[in-house]
Amino acid sequence: MLDLLHYEFMRNAIAAAVLVSLACGIVGTLVVVKRIVFVSGGVSHAAFGGIGLGYWLGINPLITVIPFSLVAALGLGLVSRATRVSEDSAIGILWTIGMAVGIVFVQLTPGYAPDLMSYLFGNILTVPRGDLVLMLALDGVILLITLLFHREFIAVAFDEEFAAVVGVPTRAANALLLCLVALSVVVLIRVVGVILVIALLTLPASIARQFTHNLGRLMAAACAVGAVLTCAGLWLSYALDLSSGATIILVMSAAFLISSGATRPRPARRATGAAP
């Protein structure tokens, strides 16, 4: 494993794994606790429209994904609250619109669209240094916002109705949380792609949640779990010449199943024999 560090692409991949673990640990914890997993899935798929726009404009798609994801996240919250459309219907609508817009932009782009599959399914081995800088900046924004508004996030995550009663601006907190989801999607796309972002946002936090319910410890544990399992999946994908994004998710899924079995409460034994 240490021999692989002589290669720049592997050093970039490990750095990307650490940066990704911060985003999925912090935001993924809020997503799992608040039970908005499919909201994050809708935002991630709608972000494909930003990828297509980047190809059409001839610039780094991650740059155009940022505003596109933010608009999609805020639009999802606005549509579900300001109209009679249910939240799951709004997710489905934005999901399909974003994917359709992305496909149209890619088709309008002259020539062949390079690296398109890496944005769909991820390829951590091809993350350039410029994307690492962008991912680091986005992680910094995510961490800063979480520290500044952690009380509001805790309130809306555990009991939104009570938070509204005691004066917490729940609409603003929810909108800000959706923005964090959008920014985390941008960080995760290069590693696991649009299709698998939802898994990377939920698996580390779901594994860590089986061992602690304190939100701060849960975030820290999810970050650590994400870093270890992402690096493990990265090494396995390189050793077996498999898709990095899919291998990382499979490693995390295996860890989730193992941890679920390890923490499952044992049934009480029935008393046998005569009472003393």
User: Which tens digit of pLDDT belongs to each residue from 136-146?
Assistant: 999 999 999 99
From first CA to last CA, the distance across the chain in angstroms is 60
**CA–CA dist 83, 90 (Å, integer):** 10
For residue 36, tell me if it sits in a domain: yes
pLDDT at 63 exceeding the cut of 80: yes
Amino acid identity at 176: L
Better-predicted residue by pLDDT, 128 or 272: 128
Mean pLDDT of 105-118: 84
Per the domain annotation, does 135 fall within a domain?
yes
Please indicate, yes or no, if residue 210 is contained in any of the structural domains.
yes
Question: 10 pLDDT exceeds 90?
Answer: no
CATH of the domain at 204: 1.10.3470.10
Kindly state the average pLDDT of the residues 51-62. Answer: 91
Q: Distance between CA atoms of 102 and 3, rounded to whole angstroms?
A: 39
Q: Which of 214, 201, 248 is closest to 37 using CA atoms?
A: 201
Task: Compute the average pLDDT of residues 7-11.
Answer: 84
Expressed in percent and rounded to 5, the helix, strand and coil fractions of the chain are 80, 0, 20
Q: How many domains does the chain have?
A: 1
Against a cut of 0.75, is the pTM above it? Answer: yes
- Asked whether 237 and 252 are in contact (CB, 8 A), the reply is no
Q: How confident is the model at residue 275 (pLDDT cuts 50, 70, 90)?
A: very low
Residue 122: predicted pLDDT: 81
Share of the chain above pLDDT 90, in %: 35
List Cα–Cα distances, 44 to 39, 60, 200, 201, 259, in angstroms: 9, 17, 11, 10, 27
Range of the domain at 98: 2-261
Output DSSP code: residue 271. Answer: P
Token pair, residue 226, equals 């994400």
- Indicate whether 276 belongs to any domain: no
- Nearest by Cα to 136 from 15, 262, 260: 15
Give CA–CA dist 223/24, Å, rounded: 7
Give phi and psi for 75, each to the nearest 5.
Answer: -65, -35
The answer to the question of residue 271 being in a domain is no
Q: Is residue 149 part of a domain?
A: yes
CA–CA separation, 166 and 161 (whole Å):
9
Residue 32 resides in a domain? yes
Q: How far apart are CA 273 and CA 67, in angstroms?
A: 69
Strand boundaries in 31-134, DSSP class E: none
Distance from C-alpha of 6 to C-alpha of 29, rounded to nearest angstrom: 34
Residues in the chain: 276
pLDDT digits (tens, 9 = 90+) for 186-218: 888 888 888 788 888 899 999 999 988 888 899
Element (H, E) at 5: none
Tens of pLDDT, residue by residue over 233-270, are 988 988 888 888 889 999 999 999 998 876 665 444 44
Q: Scanning the structure block, which residue is given the tokens 């494993």?
A: 1
Q: Is residue 217 part of a domain?
A: yes
